[in-house]
């Protein structure tokens, strides 16, 4: 019998949500629903990365700022 802790279960569920999000974005790109994007991530070691696929730097900065604003607005 394998014993799975609550923490392991939560981590597995979180990983599944991460993969579902990436799959949804991939589908939208394939269906021409996404033309540009900016995404950020953090590693278990605390390293932060920004991924962007935009036409230019101002577009990338704009998308990053819009995303930040949406997250803040949804938290209040």
* pLDDT for 61: 94
pLDDT of 47 above 80: yes
Which two three-digit tokens encode residue 61? 């900065």
Q: What is the pLDDT of residues 3-19, one digit of tens each?
A: 667 788 899 999 999 99
Give strand pairing partners of 53. 37
**With contact defined as beta carbons under 8 Å apart, do 60 and 34 qualify?**
no
Q: What is the pLDDT of residues 27-37, one digit of tens each?
A: 999 999 999 99
Residues 6+ apart with CB under 8 A from 34: 25, 28
pTM value?
A: 0.73
CA distances (Å), origin 74, targets 42, 45, 47, 70: 21, 27, 25, 6
């Amino acid at each position: 019998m394998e014993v799975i802790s609550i923490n392991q279960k939560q981590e597995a569920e979180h990983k599944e949500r991460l993969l579902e999000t990436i799959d949804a974005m991939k589908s939208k790109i394939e269906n021409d629903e996404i033309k540009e994007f900016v995404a950020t991530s953090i590693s278990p070691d605390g390293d932060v990365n920004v991924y962007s696929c935009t036409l230019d730097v101002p577009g990338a900065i704009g998308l990053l700022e819009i995303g930040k604003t949406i997250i803040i607005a949804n938290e209040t």
